């Protein structure tokens, strides 16, 4: 009996499709606090490796390039007591993001690990982090408006399903508050939020105040605070976009919010400079700016599935400079931009939307003619008032000298009232359009 079992067991071993693979391992040759160089490895870019540290500790690093026969890696974790000649072993191929309904209501980090204390994510599908390349004709036109619950945006800068929009402002002007208003009110099936490079306190505050209640159940949050590795910050942006693409492939209307695109560019700058790229405008290497179109172009409408990704990116204008390289590059790629004004914020106008430089490039395709006409009348009155504001405030203008200025002065309180909105209030699209046409529809025609 025993002999027969042994014979059967040995025979099964002989016929098994067994192909042993060697363990690949290299050695750490250099580390300058940010960039690691390893020898003895032949790995593709994006591979995650485990690096040995003092006292048996391990840290994870990602392959980001090659130089002079050495493999360049960047730390994915915190500070580590690395030693010369530490072992470097690959533990994962270039990653895929977990996507699907299993992620709804969850909060993950840049590596896709849940950080909300609700246990592991089960039953998720997978999608390439870098996305799936689409042809231009696979993208549908933007033809349907999206209600975001903000009166000034719904009425004057109407956003369409599948549009990519930037919210551009300096620090402390109200970008995050405006995002919170949009998250609560947006008419979307799924909301994917990427909090990239922000303060850790802001992440907790955003979850508790802006993604609470019903909004949490249809949201997925990818949070990578500012003190995390630049590689993780870029991975967080890629992961948030991949999750949105996974829902779009199911035919859903997705709202992708990323706060902020500038922090992603900063992470790209850190990596590019560490790799020895020459710094160009404002210290940004070419790769950091070239990365933005690859990220932004992944949003939009999919002809095959019928789903859409409406993307809203915040763009930090360093020093309130509208010609900052990231701001300028994003403005040229996006389908519209909403500029927030520090001067309006200082006057107590919130949201502090500066209508002059703000534009929605698809509004003429998705709004009715009377809506567009009323929006143009409001804009004309506001522009006339701002041009002559100093004259009016100094008392140098006499009423009746110019009918257009008189009309602009008379309409200015109504214009400001239309722009203003409390952070906790929601104004549906129909109400905003009806109010706009009711007040400005028959002016200046």
Question: How confident is the model over 153-187, as pLDDT tens digits?
Answer: 999 999 999 999 999 998 888 888 899 899 988 88
CATH of domain 21-90: 2.40.10.170
Question: 133 pLDDT exceeds 60?
Answer: yes
**Average pLDDT in the chain:** 88
Is 3.10.105.10 the CATH classification of the domain at 370-440?
A: no
Instruction: State the pLDDT at residue 161.
Output: 95
> Which class for 140: exposed (0-12), middle (13-18), buried (19 or more C-beta within 10 A)?
middle
CATH class of the structural domain 96-365: alpha beta
| CA proximity to 191, closest of 167, 171, 210, 165 | 210
For residues 293 and 22, the model is more confident at: 293
Rounded distance, CA 143 to CA 363, Å? 9
Question: 151 pLDDT exceeds 90?
Answer: yes
Report the range of poorest mean pLDDT among 2-6, 32-36, 215-219, 374-378.
Answer: 2-6
Question: How confident is the model over 112-126, as pLDDT tens digits?
Answer: 899 998 899 998 999
DSSP 53: B
Question: 390 pLDDT exceeds 90?
Answer: no
For the chain, give every residue range classified as CATH 2.40.10.170.
21-90
The answer for residues whose C-beta is within 8 angstroms of residue 29's C-beta and 6 or more apart is 37, 38, 39, 70, 84, 85
Query: Would you state the structure tokens that stand for residue 411, as one six-digit string?
Result: 């309409």
pTM summary value: 0.89
Instruction: State the pLDDT at residue 393.
Output: 79
Terminal CA-CA length for the chain: 101
The answer for residues whose C-beta is within 8 angstroms of residue 323's C-beta and 6 or more apart is none
Q: Are 63 and 47 in contact (CB under 8 A)?
A: yes
Instruction: State the pLDDT at residue 99.
Output: 94
Rounded distance, CA 349 to CA 262, Å? 25
Rounded distance, CA 440 to CA 445, Å? 10
| pLDDT confidence band for 444 (50 / 70 / 90) | very low
For the chain, give every residue range classified as CATH 3.40.50.12240.
96-365
Instruction: State the pLDDT at residue 384.
Output: 94
Question: How confident is the model over 318-349, as pLDDT tens digits?
Answer: 777 778 889 999 999 999 999 999 999 998 89
Instruction: State the pLDDT at residue 445.
Output: 44
Instruction: State the pLDDT at residue 194.
Output: 95
For the chain, give every residue range classified as CATH 1.20.1270.330.
370-440
Query: Would you state the structure tokens that stand for residue 313, as one six-digit string?
Result: 């990116």
| pLDDT confidence band for 51 (50 / 70 / 90) | very high
Question: 284 pLDDT exceeds 80?
Answer: yes
Is the Cα torsion angle 128, 133, 138, 140 positive or negative in sign? Answer: positive
């Amino acid at each position: 009996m025993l002999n027969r079992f042994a014979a059967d067991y040995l025979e099964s071993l002989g016929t098994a499709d067994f192909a042993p693979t060697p363990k690949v391992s290299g050695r750490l040759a250099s580390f300058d606090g940010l960039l690691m160089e390893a020898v003895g490895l032949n790995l593709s870019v994006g591979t995650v490796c485990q690096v040995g540290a003092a006292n048996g500790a391990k840290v994870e690093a990602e392959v980001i390039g090659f130089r002079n026969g050495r493999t360049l890696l960047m730390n994915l974790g915190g500070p580590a007591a690395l030693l010369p000649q530490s072992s470097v072993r690959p533990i994962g191929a270039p990653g895929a993001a977990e996507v699907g309904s299993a992620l709804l209501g969850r909060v993950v980090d840049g590596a896709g690990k849940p950080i909300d204390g609700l246990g592991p994510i089960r039953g998720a599908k997978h999608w390439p982090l870098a996305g799936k390349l689409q042809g231009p004709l696979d993208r549908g036109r933007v033809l349907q408006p999206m209600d975001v619950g903000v009166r000034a945006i719904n009425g004057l800068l109407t956003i369409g399903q599948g549009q990519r929009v930037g919210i551009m402002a300096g620090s402390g002007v109200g970008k995050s508050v405006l995002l919170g208003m949009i998250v609560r009110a947006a008419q979307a099936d799924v909301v994917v939020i990427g909090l990239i490079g922000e303060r850790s306190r802001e992440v907790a505050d955003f979850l508790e105040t802006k993604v609470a209640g019903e909004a949490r159940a249809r949201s997925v949050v990818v949070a990578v605070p500012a003190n995390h590795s630049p590689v993780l910050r870029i991975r967080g942006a890629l992961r948030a976009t991949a999750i949105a693409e996974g829902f779009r492939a199911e035919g859903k209307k997705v709202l992708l919010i990323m706060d902020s695109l500038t922090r992603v560019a900063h992470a790209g700058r850190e990596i590019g400079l560490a790799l020895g790229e020459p710094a160009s405008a404002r210290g940004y290497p070419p790769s950091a700016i070239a990365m933005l179109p690859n990220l932004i172009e992944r949003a939009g409408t999919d002809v095959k599935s019928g789903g859409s990704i409406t993307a809203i990116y915040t763009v930090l204008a360093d020093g309130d400079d509208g010609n900052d390289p990231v701001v300028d590059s994003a403005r040229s790629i996006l389908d519209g931009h909403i500029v927030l004004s520090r001067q309006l914020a200082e006057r107590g106008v919130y949201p502090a939307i500066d209508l002059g430089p703000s534009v929605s490039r698809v509004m003429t395709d998705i709004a009715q003619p009377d809506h567009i006409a009323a929006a143009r009348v409001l804009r004309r009155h506001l522009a006339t008032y701002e041009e002559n504001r100093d004259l009016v405030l100094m008392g140098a203008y006499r009423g009746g000298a110019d009918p257009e200025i008189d009309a602009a002065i008379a309409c200015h309180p109504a214009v400001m009232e239309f722009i203003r909105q409390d952070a906790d209030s929601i104004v549906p699209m129909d109400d905003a359009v009806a109010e706009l046409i009711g007040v400005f529809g028959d002016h200046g025609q």
